Amino acid sequence: MNRSPHTTTRKRNPVQDASFMSKRLFLYLVDLFRIGRNRSIEDSDIYETLPEHKSEGLSDKFHKLWTEELKRKSPSLLRMYTRAYGWSVIGLGFLFCIIETTTRIAQPLCLGGLVTYFSPGETTVTKSEAYMYAVGIILSSLIPVCIFHPFILFIFQQGMKIRVATCTLMYEKVMRLSKCTTFDGLNGQVINLMSNDVGRYDVAMAFLHDLWKGPLEALLLGYFIYREIGVSGILGMAFLLGFIPLQAYIGRKAATYRLRTAKRTDIRIRFMNEIIQGIQVIKMYAWEKSFAAMVDKVRRKEINAIRGSFYVRATFYCFILISKFSLFISLMSYIYFGNIFTARKVFIVSSFYNVLNESMVHFWPLAITTCAEAYISIKRINEFLLRSETKERPLENEDHGGDAIVANGKTEKEITDNVKRKMLMLRKTMNVNGKSDGEHLLPPRIDNEAAEHKGVILKNVTALWNSDGTRNGLNSVDLEVKEGRMCAVIGPVGSGKTTLLQVIIGELELDEGTIEVNGRVSYAAQEPWLFEGSIRRNIIFVEEYDEARGRGVSLSGGQKARVSLARAIYRRADIYLLDDPLSAVDTQVGKHIFERCIRRFLADKVVILVTHQLQYLKDIRQIVLLNGGRIEMQGSYDEIRQSNLESILSLAPDESQEPQTPVAEQKLKTFPSQVDFKGQDDSLVEEEKETQAIGSVSLNVYKSYFKAIENTCFIVFVFVVFILSQFAISGTDYFVAQWVNWEESLVLDQTNTTDLIASNFAINTTTTLPNLLEENSTDEVLIEPISTEEDSQRQFFMIIYGCLMLTLLYLVIQRTFAFFKLCLMASTKLRDRLFRGITRATMWFFNNNPSGRILNRFSKDIGGIDSQLPNNLIDCINFFLEVAAVMVVVGIVNFWMIIPTIVMSILLYAIRWIYINTGRSIKRLESMTRSPIFSHVNATLQGLSTIRALKAQKYLLSEFHLHQNVNSSAWYMYISTARSFAMWLDLICCIYIAIVTLSFLFLDNQTLGGNVGLAIMQVNSLIGMCQWGMRQTAELENMMTSVERVLEYADLPSEA
């Protein structure tokens, strides 16, 4: 990665200078859409991060709150979130929900009043009142649109802030993790937490208020339904509300499957990370098939969990029929009780059920699912943040000259001397057994960079990696290395040599004894950790470039191990800990490095050298032989040689006698890092820049997705069932409207039509919206006995209605479960292709692409294909079918409405055309700016010991903030453009609703009330559905970029 793009000057975000109306209508984004139409949005087009979105400020706020939480008995991440942003989200959410609920109740009542005007023989509603009802319908659609989208943008911003700050907390935690804890799978777990778990916050917060708004609307609308049809309304509501316990149960199951899936995804990503890190060895020994079998086993378990999650989702999608069955039960029971229904009653009740269908059947279960999944994610992150840490030691001061002022005007040296004096006083108070009441106060470790006499002192040090002793540690080690002296540490493999250095740098805590580190430490790890930047950047790291030091000894040609050693040597330090730095070089190069660099350049420093090269021991004054974590022998070369040289040779064989590999042919084992450094010099590893696809997603990508299923007949079957189910849904609505028209014509034909209508509606001299709220509509309608032929016709209608509902139930269940099965087959095959493509790729690919970028395909992209893409795809299919059905129904009711319908379709497509290029390229850009975050975290985990030894945490944290800021800016651009797109679509739909509603009054062509109610209800469904569906089509194309990215790696050039 390159740091420079993140530090370049970016354009100011136009929202900062936008007016109130420009913000409400998203007009400040017009210039961005204009750029997006002409070309793809590029990295240079990303705006400057808004001050309130910057990672530094958000993390400071959360760091303070989390510190307060840690003082509690049970620290809670959820409680911290509530304290940070809970009240603002709750306050604005409450205001928005009250306004939206009011308009949702008013619109069906206005529709009932307007339909009454068109009922046969109706004279009580005047035309002016009908216009009032029409205006009420239009305003009830317009007001929620004007407040909904700004509110959702606000909610997504809050979710983004929580996500960014939480990622920073996790990253800081990563740099504090103790190596005594289990590190197995940590890379995969952290990447999964940052890519998938925190990503659920945004969606969960958008649905948060539906948890209480849905039941509130159910209570209010149930009351109005009862006023219209009495006991029959209670039966319908009882059926609808009876599914709530089932929904709650399924919500819990969704959370269970989410947790199960997340755990298994962690394991899969861990496997993939290990495979990517060891791909060279895997290819060398042709282990691809063996590792493929292991990953397939893990993937099968993950697929089983995903399959359960898909069944839950399929069940939720089937719940859209609950409102229709509630209406069915209400109407059938209403007729059974001896009543007849009118257009007013049917469409008021039907509209209320549609509102309940959206709030209680769709959004409420979705809110349960998303919030339950978010809660599981919160628990997982909470557990991670509570893992054990290394003890914090002060990081380096910016100014290394002189004694740093650290507290109360005292220098670090004065404070350390004060601590030493207190330790001496405590030791003097010890009794003869060496015990004292204050012994537990003795600090086991002292770090004093400003000490006058440099050196390392270990006294009776015992340190174990774990309590059961399965990993070797140190046992009762006493060691002192003074300034100007080199100490060589030798011993067999596993004797504790590396552990000794880990204790000195503080990676391993002491169980017994004390340690003093007097001086600034530099460290070269046994396995080199390098950056994907220039050689110079790798060497100077956090140091400032010094021309004098830059003219020092050349450290051999840029080989990775030597660059890692050069970094340690270049660091201005007093104590140098070198973990077997000469093992990867041949005899001549090793001798040159040892003589010119280690012995001469560090002659006046404290040097602890772990080595297996015994030929260098004769030049070292202090030698320590470790075996089994204990010091078996200590002294000069001559002393040890005189005591027992043969035993030394058996414990630490002289590798100088082994044949050496020429320097040019050496392959050093390294863990490549993707930390973002790139200087002006030649790059150490020339990283291939991640490509950004341009233009729309190719049709071949869609074909490849469905071809992955490898079952054409099944695909055709699923799409045929979708069409038939939509035909059944719209056909049922149309059938009910015709039944209503028949019932009203039947009433009109009776001699006492006027009295019956007056009794039915209980209307006085005038009818207004308040009258509709106050009238008692539960009175039964008394009618004269009807003929046997008419009774048979009504029974025929009832039978047809029942058959339609049963057919609808079967088709919807069949289409939904079959569709999710289809998606599961596709995602399974794509993941398999991706794995085969990666494992068969050439080493050139792995050398030129950071591991974080590859892991992003297996985490975010595969995760999106598994979970999000099926939702987008089914929403898009349903949207196109529903819009087509609405247009057909409106055209049947009023042929002239085909003209505005065509115009509306053109406008909707034009808005989509304006948005799609911009939205797609911003989404791709957001994905690209996310990859460096994962690469940075992965690199940090790999070089944790080196980073902490060199005390570079603050430096790397600032890099992490830079990556997050760029991604936050790209994400904000994405959600703001998506909201503007949705709002503009809804405004067009509001205009269409106004045209359709007023057209019935303007044309006045004796349209029946059933047809008017059917047309307006169908058109009203476009609000929300249209912008949601069009946005889902754009989101589908964005999600298909994940398929595109997976296919890109699945089709990599193969070795064979």
Residue 142 clears pLDDT 90, i.e. is over it: yes
> Higher confidence at residue 414 or residue 175?
175
Q: What is the pLDDT of residue 672?
A: 43
CATH fourth-level superfamily of 4-8+22-180+700-1050 = ABC transporter type 1, transmembrane domain (1.20.1560.10)
Quick one: which of 840, 1052, 935 has its CA closest to 279? 840
What are the beta bridge partners of residue 633?
Answer: 625
568-588, pLDDT tens digit by residue?
887 888 888 888 887 767 777
pLDDT at 550: 36
CA distance 380 to 376: 6
Quickly state the pLDDT bin for 143 (edges 50, 70, 90). Answer: very high
441 pLDDT more than 50: no
CATH fold of 482-509+519-656, please?
Rossmann fold (3.40.50)
Q: Is the pLDDT of residue 423 over 80?
A: no
Identify the pLDDT of residue 677. 41
- Residue 790 pLDDT more than 80? no
Q: Distance between CA 99 and CA 90 in Å, rounded?
A: 14
- Pairing of β 486-490 and β 606-610: parallel
pTM of the model: 0.74
Mean pLDDT of 917-933: 85
3-state secondary structure of 636: coil
DSSP of 97-118 = HHHHHHHHHHHHHHHHHHHHHH
Determine if residue 860 is left, alpha or beta; phi over 0 gives left, psi from -120 to 50 gives alpha, anything else beta.
Answer: alpha
Q: Which token pair is 440?
A: 């537990």
- Say whether 506 sits in a helix, a strand or coil: coil
Rounded CA separation 844/842 (Å): 5
pLDDT band for 436, please (50, 70, 90 cuts): very low
Q: How far is the CA of 220 from the CAs of 333, 779, 856, 989, in angstroms? A: 22, 20, 47, 27
For 265-314, what is each residue's pLDDT tens digit? 888 888 888 888 888 888 888 888 888 888 888 888 888 888 888 888 88
Neighbours of 936 (CB within 10 A): 24
Domain ranges of the chain: 4-8+22-180+700-1050, 482-509+519-656
- Neighbouring CB atoms inside 10 A of 1010's CB total 28
Q: What is the pLDDT of residues 691-740, one digit of tens each?
A: 555 556 778 888 888 888 888 899 999 999 999 999 998 888 888 888 88
Q: Which residues contact 368 (CB under 8 A, 6 or more apart)?
A: 211, 247, 248, 251, 254
- Strands, E assignment, 645-693: 671-672
Asked if 961 and 59 touch (Cβ cutoff 8 Å), the reply is yes
Listed residue (219, 102, 218, 231) closest to 769, CA to CA: 102
Q: Measured in whole angstroms, how far is the alpha carbon of residue 161 from the centre of its chain? A: 13
Q: What are 738-764's pLDDT values in tens digits?
A: 888 887 777 665 544 444 344 444 444
Question: In this model, does residue 811 exceed pLDDT 90?
Answer: yes
The whole-number average pLDDT for the span 617-621 is: 81
> Amino acid identity of 782?
L
DSSP string covering 254-290, please? HHHHHHHHHHHHHHHHHHHHHHHHTHHHHHHTT-HHH
Nearest-angstrom CA–CA distance, 175 and 948: 8
The mean-pLDDT minimum among 348-357, 562-571, 819-828 falls in: 562-571
Q: Which of 976, 908, 967 is nearest to 31 (CA)?
A: 976
Give CA separation, 657 vs 526, 582, 1006, in Å: 21, 14, 107
